Amino acid sequence: METEQTPVEPVTEQTPVQPVETPSEASTFLTDDGKFTDAYLDSLPDELGKHSIIDKYGRDPVNVLKGAVNLSNLAGKKAEEFWVSEDPDVVAKRREVMGVPKDKSGYAYDSSDIPEEFQEKAVENADKFMEFAAEKGYPKAMVEEILQWDKGRGVEAIETAKEQKATSTREAEEFLRNEWKGDKYDYNIAKVSNAMEHLGLGEFKDNPKYANDPDFIMAMNEKIVPLLEDDVIIEAKQKQNYATISDTLKELDDRMYSYTGNTNDPAYRNMIKERGELLQKIARK
């Protein structure tokens, strides 16, 4: 009786295992005593591998790290002292670093694009701010940027005000022309203008609050102009009577008598007109 044979597995040749380097064998940046190797330091950028801190701390990685931390702390402390010191030399250096001019003349301000009627005030305000900025130590770039922003804001406000005034003037004129038809508009406006000048209110003619207010203009024309034409306000204000009118007439006659210019000139013609008005006032007394 035959016995069953157990098959034998073929024997395969084993690949020998390569030895694994230990960290100490693979390491190329430390010497046996734990210091940075020359090869490792040479492989670094010069600002690192040749930094004085390496030799100062004997190439020991731990000591080098501690030295770097101490140096960073020292630098931070010195930086803080630099920014808060009151020492004149340090203050001068700090202003230089920040770009702070020695005085207000170190800042630049261009007012050429500001409307002429506002330039003087704008330059005055800018001058005060630059003086303040130089005293406080504000950098040139920052101050000039603020001045530019403020100027732009001011010019925009001026243009807006002009547009509003033009709109208000147009609306007031349209209203009054509708109330005073034809030549009556120009006639009444001239009367109101003369009345305001006579009462010492000429400066208000350019004030939109009054000049563009139809109610105010109509009130002046209806209430004040008639009083002036009747001399009521003149007498109340100046205490003018027959004697003072006569004195005024005499003074006017003297000026006309001594006048050496052309009698057709507006100045002389105005004196003739004024004399006629005075004579009329005397006739009404």
pLDDT of residue 14: 55
Q: CA-CA distance, 165 to 176, in Å (whole number)?
A: 16
Q: CA-CA distance, 237 to 223, in Å (whole number)?
A: 16
For residues 51 and 153, the model is more confident at: 153
pLDDT of residue 30: 74
Structure confidence by residue, pLDDT tens digits, 232-258: 555 444 554 544 677 778 888 888 888
Q: CA-CA distance, 28 to 38, in Å (whole number)?
A: 10
pLDDT of residue 3 exceeding 80, the answer is no
Structure confidence by residue, pLDDT tens digits, 4-59: 555 555 555 555 555 544 444 445 777 777 677 777 777 778 777 677 767 676 67
Classify 36 as helix, strand or coil: strand
Every domain of the chain and the residues it spans: 27-84, 100-165, 180-238, 241-285
What band does 109 get if pLDDT is binned at 50, 70 and 90?
Answer: very high
**φ and ψ at 30, to 5 degrees?**
-125, 145
For residues 206 and 80, the model is more confident at: 206
pLDDT of residue 131: 93
Instruction: Give 51-103 as a 3 state SS string.
Output: CHHHHHCCCCHHHHHHHHHHHHHHHHHHHHHHHHCCCHHHHHHHHHHHCCCCC
Distances (CA, A) of 21 to 15, 24, 26, 35, 232: 18, 8, 6, 20, 122
Classify 207 as helix, strand or coil: coil
Q: What percent of the chain has pLDDT over 90?
A: 9
Q: What percent of the chain has pLDDT over 70?
A: 73
